[in-house]
Amino acid sequence: MQNDEGQSSPAIHNIVYCSRAVHDMDKEALEKIISTARHHNPRFGITGLLVFGSGIFFQWLEGPRDNVTSLFKIIAADSRHSHVVLLTKEDEVRERLFPDWDMELVEVEDISAVLEDAMHEASDPQQKNTLSKMLLELKKSALGNQGC
């Protein structure tokens, strides 16, 4: 595959999942995850974002297929969260969506918008269903007022 300038443009693999934190996650616990991610991800060409609110994680990972797949296996086995639901797993020939984010923690107030976007993008009815349930839970818990 070549771009307009005749250079090869590799496929970007991306994985999006949701999960539930097993214990309360304070700022320190979240920072620990982010700093581990920022330590490892650049070496593997992985970028993305992590959202946390109301006990729910939402993470977008993108990069070379093998690296993203391996990292996801490691993350999915992490005992700090459970109920890991894979929402999207795809290859695309495109620019990265988050080229400068080794792993960015997104503000909690933005989680609803992020999930709503993901819901609009999701093609699988089961994915839409999961996201819609999560949005409902977020609304019930008045996440926006917690300021965590």
Residues that bind ligand FMN in the complex, under the rule CB under 6 A? 33, 36-37, 40-41, 50, 57, 59, 71, 74-75, 78, 80-81, 103
DSSP 98: S
CB-nearer residue toward ligand FMN: 10 or 42: 42
CB-nearer residue toward ligand FMN: 35 or 126: 35
Which helix (H) or strand (E) segment is 19 a member of? strand 12-21
The whole-angstrom separation of Cα 49 and Cα 102 is 8
80: left (phi over 0), alpha (psi -120 to 50) or beta: alpha
Q: Contact at 8 Å (CB) between 135 and 119? A: yes
Q: How far is the CB of 91 from ligand FMN (least distance, A)?
A: 19
CB-nearer residue toward ligand FMN: 16 or 103: 103
DSSP 137: H
CB-nearer residue toward ligand FMN: 20 or 120: 20
The whole-angstrom separation of Cα 99 and Cα 73 is 22
